Structure 1
Amino acid sequence: MWYKLSQIILKQRLILILALFGITGFMAYKAQEVKWSFSLANIVPKTDPEMIYFKEFKKEFGEDGNILAIGIKDSAVYLADNFRKLKYMTDELANISYVKDVLSLPSLKRLVKDKEDNRFELENVFTDVPSDQKVLDSLIAYCQSLKFYSGQLLNTENGANMVLVTIENEVMNSKARNTVVGDILQVTEQYKEHTGINLRYAGLPFVRYINTVKIKKELNMFLVFSVMVTGFILFLFFRSFKVVLVALFIIGMIVVWVMGTLALFDYEITLLTGLIPPIIVVIGIPNAVYMLNKYHQEYFQHGDQRKALETIIRKIGIVTLITNFTTAVGFLVLAFTDIVVLKEFGVIAGVNILATFVVSLIMIPAVFSYLKPPSSRHLKHLEFAPLDKVLTGLDLLVHRHKYYIFAAAAIIVVLSAYGISKIEARSYMVDDLPEESQVKQDLKFFEDNFAGVMPLEIIIDTGTKKGVQSLKNLKKIDEFETFLNSLDDVSQPLSVVSFIKATRQAFYNDNPDKYALPNNRDKNFIFRYLKKESDQKGISKAFVDSTGQKIRVSLKIADIGSNKLDVLVNDVIQPKIDEIFGETKMKVTITGTTLLFIKGNKFLIDNLITSMIIAFFIIALIMALLFKNFKMIILCLIPNIIPLMITGGMMGFAGIPLKPSTALIFSIAFGISVDDSIHFLAKYRQELFANNFFVPVAVSKSLRETGASMIYTSIILFFGFVIFAASEFGGTVALGALTSTTLLMAMLTNLIVLPALLLRFDKGSRDTHSHPLIEKYPEFYDEREDEEIDLDMIEVKDSN
């Protein structure tokens, strides 16, 4: 089969090259249709009960994550001129398209009792900014006495205040969101420039804006870095610009295919799918290394260019197909998850890794058949003395000290297992940005001064229509809100109860001591005023459903992490809910973007662990089909499990938490690292047939021929993935640093542990009654071919 395929590729090379160019042109055309994703990733499945409830909540009360907060903590803001400019900034923000509302100190409204109509009216506190500083100071002091805004907009203890900008829901998941946030920042930066007052920013719209801008910048940077790094390493190995240019051109074609595939599947560019092009560059180059290294070895032996090109298709084709398939499996298993972003990432990456094999198998022999054969200068890497010394040393090590290798591996496994036991699963809403970043520093500002800005919602179903009008129900809710307000990392709750308490303060001429629910003496007077309240589109609509049965309690909390939030909700808040509402008809449900995000991360980790297990069994099945030998399957898996355990141990000892970005590493790294084992075992199988099933010689020859390519590709993979450590996102840094480390460890275990295992446990015998799949392809055990490979480089010789 592979012999015929080699003939077809070389005879029809021009047609095949033009066909691939045509497909690439089509993909480039489709790539123009690819769009960036501006939606918050849906991690929790749509069918999840909590997700269904949250969607119902948003349908009833609106979006909970559409507020951009601007923080100020500078006494200079209360100077008349600066305060006037703050009012001007507020007005300018309100005029921006898709800005729904702006709430700030200069735009503050107060409830005024209208005795004639027996109703409350909303009036601006600052109809104009007074030029007299004393008058301004008295108005600010008045604002601080309004308990409704205390902790929400003002910190009365240190003078910090916020400007809250609400963005229309319709643009939150579109490109227009970035335009709106960009316009907001332009206005606020002008205020900062004219006053010298520093501003702080937080809120999901701002965080998502910053993430999108940084992601776009980094993805382009990583693509350039991956091309530069892999190209440079290729040149060091092969000393040929032709090799570098052809290899990078082929990978460039696949990058175009990636973008075209995204368009064909109608997927958008997300943080994950955006990483695929540089990953393809890094993963695709090893194909070229193995094929070109074999091409150079063959040409070095007999000087026949066409025969050498035929050989790389015949001898490397089937092995490269299997290794690319196992690599693709590491990504494709993500398609079995219930998470859309992971499915898209897995499908696009897996499909294009397989496409990389097809394009490489056609383009490398076809293109090099048009080029001049490699010169002696280009073949020097085959006789690279330092590398030869390394391989000789490894050969001696595995033959003479295999039991020391087993002992060292066992010690490492035990230590790694202990490290793994120390790993904690923990994630944050703003998890990926470094602690010293401005976004994290600003977030800390809001947590220190306003208990945070992350949204948490509580819905209280009173059980009856117009239950909100029951003073008994309101007192229960007020008791609950008082408890919530006493908690650390939780802001003062905001609800219709807060509004009613504010009306009582207004009824008593803004006396702060009267900020409480009406009592039996004054409730009839206050409720008479409230009955004439016409604010149907304001407080009532935002915090009470249309039937008056459900009440929304809105909180802002600090980004305390998944573990602490879980304790806060389940061990602190929920028991209090049971205590206060347990004997009533009222039902209390906690929801919100923050809660769903944390649950999504837990769900994501569970799915990634499942995908890792699936990848493990699929790759084990591939080994079973190839070898039909349980012992060989175990011997293949051991050197690839050890690196994963080392990485897990490092995470535990270093305090790196298990979160989506770190859990993703294991299935990807396992799929890639097992390639080295397949290459080694395929060559080992060839050498067994070529050397009368004498294991020591087969191991030595396999180590010497495949060792160089394994080292070359591992170096490329290491430096290719380590570039992601330059990211500003912690998840991408983890992906780069831990994946590169895992692959480096996998190279060592496949060069040391795997040969030692074969020497100790494989007898080299062949079952004449069982013919595994690997024997059905003569490319794996063509003795005549193998006798010609690197004989002058083999130190173990026949004594005859």
Structure 2
Amino acid sequence: VGLRDDDPEAAAAGYAAAVARARALSPVFGVHLSGKPHLDAVLGDTLRSTLQRIVPAASLVLALVLWMAFRRPRGVLVPLVSMLAALLWTFALGARLGYSLNLVTVMVPPLVLTLAFAYCMHVVSEHYTLARERSISARASAAGALAATQVPLLITGITTLAGFLALTLSTIPAIAEFGVLSSLGVLASMVAALVLCPSLLAVLPAPRTLASGAPEQRLPRFASHLSDFDFHHRKAIIATSLVVLALAAAAASRIEIGMNYGATFHPDSAIRRDFHLLNEKLAGANPFALTVRASAHESFREPEALRRLSDLQAWLESQPEVGGTVSAADYVRVLHRAFEGDDPAAFAIPGSRRLVHQLLLFGGSDDLDLLLDPSAREATVFVRSHSQESAEIAALASRVEAHLADPAHGLEGHVGGSLVAASRTIEAISHGQLRSLLAATAVIFIVLSAMFTSLRMGVVALLPNVLIVLIYLGVLGLAGIPLGPTTSLIGCIALGIAVDDTVHYFARFNADAKKAVRKMPATKSALRAVIRPVSFTSLGLCLGFLTLTFSEIQTQVQFGGLAALALAAAWLVDVTLTPALACSVRIVTLWDVLGLDLGQDPTGQIPLFQDLSLREARVVALMGERRVSPAGTQLFKAVDPLDTLIVVTGGELSMYVEEWGQRVRVARLGRGDVVGHGELFAGPVHLDVETDGPVRMLLFTTATLEGLRRRYPRIGAKIYRNLNRVQSRSMNTLLEWLSAER
């Protein structure tokens, strides 16, 4: 049955009417329907029904995970409302842009839900942590949660957005639309997590402390043991990861690109049974068309041209993917035999041009009009292929066009039809996705390098995420699963989501390392802080994608299962390899650098930084605590014990001593001066120190200086030498003052 209407709904109605008429005319025969237009129509209906089931199912699953994580109604409702708002915003914008659902964009709803879930999980988890540890109001804990998570969330949002924006460069409309809708989903998820979620938390009553033994109490204990393992076995973890990376890359090289048309629907579905039955009984259920053009009008009314057309059919039928062909030459042979009394010997192209004209005239019909145009210059050959693989059909089409390009055959033409177009599109999509994945990786590398102010740190931070993608691709290669339109998207999705947890851990470790100085406590505190949101986020993402396994479309089932597998691997990598890498390198983020103001020529104007390079001075400054104190602030009193070294980087302060009941200014200090070095090394000195105006300063404790000496011995040696010089000059200044007083 052929329909001229290109509208899928009209085509579906037309095929349904044809089936109904066939059944009415032949009630004793079975009627089976297949073909790509019919498959596309059924696929559209199935996508809509699947979406109506998947979104509520995914929302319910994520709500259950939220309850497991927080055990409070607000811990479920606030993220759930934010997630659904993000989904609504995404589809409202998509509808405004005129996008519709297809086999690729139908993946957007679960993707947006899981992204918004992941972002909101970090905010709500930090909210509960602050409320529990500090016993503060809901408004204050919501503000604190936002302050603690906004930078990592912005970075992860930017990196995820970069990954999906790379897809918009695709020449395939479905992939480009997926990239646009996914990018809108990322932006909507960020707004929901950074604006809507904290606002809802702030207006609700302060949360109560969770009972001991709840998951959020058990997970930190597990994180403590795991951090010990990660720290003490970091070299073995990194080495093992590199070996896995190499093995996964080798397995990924075995991936085949393509799609199996016969495996789109469930094995027990009627449409799949009809497809296989017709594919077997009719020598192929996958048709496509070959348009052949001769050199002049009326050419295909000539016996010689029809014989060349017949030779082309014989060559086509010799191809392993072809089950049969039909052309105008077949009509002429059948008519010739019929007019010759059904003589088998007459089943051939007549030698007379006049006879051919007469046969085509008497045998004219609508079917013949589909095979031969009125001018008889163009003829169509309908080809039935029993191949179900898009790669095989695309290869067949290329061989046919190469055959026609040979002038020896005397024919020109091209291959057409929705089947060939779809097969070539799938090939282009899959190859394009690999390029998009590489582009997304490059963009994320640039963002991470900028964030950590180092190309080396960009590589280190990217390594866990590249490992996850290669593990996924390696599984495809080992399992023999082809890389098709849907499976090729998982790499970008896994990369975009996995970088979220990596950035959160590195950011937390960086903050804790500056406070703890030593790496072991920082590793433990950072992993304890992120283990709950990372674990429950991963659980929710895996279960959310697993809801796709209940779809009637096998590509979605495959997508859901493989995405869950990739994200489970991402969790394992993020709690083992990421901490091992973090405690093996020095982390300095862009936010640290932007927030660092040492003024002009710090190595020349600040004696403590003498003979240091600007980079070394920044390293020292970033290991200390940066503080700004307003005018009139008493930094310490003479009676206070002091274990802090203060370096003035801007402003002025005064030192006072009590003498005969009066407060006497000993010295006025400014940029580059050091306070507390004597007390730090030689014991207490009875001096009061106050700021004369706003003062910027760096504070170093004995633990900080010792940590600097261990981690950067050369820099530490220069700092201790400069401290000796500062101490010597200060002693000389004090002796001169005492002499003048006498």
TM-score normalised according to structure 2 size: 0.76
In the superposition, relative to structure 1, how do residues 570 and 280 fare at CA in structure 2: closer, same or farther (>3 Å)? closer
In the superposition, relative to structure 1, how do residues 383 and 519 fare at CA in structure 2: closer, same or farther (>3 Å)? closer
**How do 1:732-743 and structure 2 match up within 5 A?**
732-743=556-567
In the superposition, relative to structure 1, how do residues 496 and 575 fare at CA in structure 2: closer, same or farther (>3 Å)? same
**How do 1:234-313 and structure 2 match up within 5 A?**
234-305=66-137, 306-313=139-146
- Counterpart of 1:687 (choices 512, 528, 533) is 512
Partner of 2:572: 748
Rounded to whole Å, the distance in 2 between the matches of 1:527 and 1:191 is 34
What is the DSSP-based 3-state SS (H/G/I as helix, E as strand, rest coil) of the residue aligned with 2:384? Answer: strand
What is the DSSP-based 3-state SS (H/G/I as helix, E as strand, rest coil) of the residue aligned with 1:397? Answer: helix
Q: Does 1:617 align with 2:442?
A: yes
Partner of 2:36: 204
Q: 1:486 offset after TM fit, Å?
A: 4.6
What is the DSSP-based 3-state SS (H/G/I as helix, E as strand, rest coil) of the residue aligned with 2:158? Answer: helix
Aligned residues of 2:123 and 2:149 also touching (Cα < 8 A): yes
In the superposition, relative to structure 1, how do residues 269 and 679 fare at CA in structure 2: closer, same or farther (>3 Å)? same
- Counterpart of 2:198 (choices 365, 389, 393) is 365
Farther off after superposition, 615-624 or 501-510: 501-510
- Counterpart of 1:591 (choices 399, 410, 416) is 416
What are the superposed Cα offsets for residues 609-651 of structure 1, whole Å, 9 maximum, x if unpaired? Answer: 1111111111111112211112211111111111111111111
Q: 1:408 offset after TM fit, Å?
A: 2.4
- Counterpart of 1:634 (choices 453, 459, 469) is 459
What is the RMSD computed on CA atoms of the aligned residues?
2.9
Partner of 1:651: 476
Aligned residues of 2:541 and 2:567 also touching (Cα < 8 A): yes
Q: 1:566 offset after TM fit, Å?
A: 4.7
- Counterpart of 1:671 (choices 489, 496, 511) is 496
Rounded to whole Å, the distance in 1 between the matches of 2:485 and 2:544 is 21
How many correspondences in the alignment?
A: 605
Partner of 1:145: none
**How do 1:209-224 and structure 2 match up within 5 A?**
209-224=41-56
Q: 1:752 offset after TM fit, Å?
A: 0.8
Rounded to whole Å, the distance in 1 between the matches of 2:410 and 2:12 is 44
Aligned residues of 2:258 and 2:389 also touching (Cα < 8 A): yes
Q: Does 1:433 align with 2:251?
A: no
Aligned residues of 1:451 and 1:488 also touching (Cα < 8 A): no
Aligned residues of 2:404 and 2:412 also touching (Cα < 8 A): no
Partner of 1:317: 150
Q: Does 1:714 align with 2:538?
A: yes
- Counterpart of 2:301 (choices 464, 469, 485) is 469
Partner of 1:698: 522
In the superposition, relative to structure 1, how do residues 680 and 384 fare at CA in structure 2: closer, same or farther (>3 Å)? same
Rounded to whole Å, the distance in 2 between the matches of 1:464 and 1:510 is 33
Aligned residues of 1:492 and 1:555 also touching (Cα < 8 A): yes
What is the DSSP-based 3-state SS (H/G/I as helix, E as strand, rest coil) of the residue aligned with 2:292? Answer: strand
Rounded to whole Å, the distance in 1 between the matches of 2:572 and 2:493 is 18
Rounded to whole Å, the distance in 1 between the matches of 2:193 and 2:403 is 63
What are the superposed Cα offsets for residues 708-751 of structure 1, whole Å, 9 maximum, x if unpaired? Answer: 22112111111111221222323212221111111111111121
Aligned residues of 2:69 and 2:215 also touching (Cα < 8 A): no
Note the residue ranges of structure 1 that are not aligned, 5 or more in a row: 1-164, 786-796
Aligned residues of 1:625 and 1:773 also touching (Cα < 8 A): no
Aligned partner letter, 2:499: V
- Counterpart of 2:594 (choices 760, 769, 776) is 776
In the superposition, relative to structure 1, how do residues 383 and 358 fare at CA in structure 2: closer, same or farther (>3 Å)? closer
What is the DSSP-based 3-state SS (H/G/I as helix, E as strand, rest coil) of the residue aligned with 2:373? Answer: coil
Aligned partner letter, 2:532: A
Partner of 1:726: 550
In the superposition, relative to structure 1, how do residues 598 and 310 fare at CA in structure 2: closer, same or farther (>3 Å)? same
Partner of 2:716: none
Q: 1:783 offset after TM fit, Å?
A: 6.3
- RCO higher in 1 or 2 (8 Å CA, sep ≥ 6)? 1
In the superposition, relative to structure 1, how do residues 179 and 503 fare at CA in structure 2: closer, same or farther (>3 Å)? closer
Aligned residues of 1:233 and 1:716 also touching (Cα < 8 A): yes
In the superposition, relative to structure 1, how do residues 628 and 705 fare at CA in structure 2: closer, same or farther (>3 Å)? same
Report sequence identity in percent.
21
Partner of 2:665: none
What is the DSSP-based 3-state SS (H/G/I as helix, E as strand, rest coil) of the residue aligned with 1:307? Answer: helix
Aligned residues of 1:455 and 1:554 also touching (Cα < 8 A): yes
Rounded to whole Å, the distance in 1 between the matches of 2:341 and 2:326 is 22
Partner of 1:340: 173
Q: 1:532 offset after TM fit, Å?
A: 4.8
Q: Does 1:559 align with 2:387?
A: yes
Q: 1:234 offset after TM fit, Å?
A: 0.3
What are the superposed Cα offsets for residues 498-552 of structure 1, whole Å, 9 maximum, x if unpaired? Answer: 12112211221333442211135xx54x2462475494x7355322234322221
TM-score normalised according to structure 1 size: 0.71
Partner of 1:166: 2
Greater Cα radius of gyration, structure 1 or 2: 2
Aligned partner letter, 1:664: L
Note the residue ranges of structure 2 that are not aligned, 5 or more in a row: 597-621, 628-702, 708-742
Q: 1:452 offset after TM fit, Å?
A: 1.0
Farther off after superposition, 361-370 or 295-304: 361-370
Partner of 1:793: none
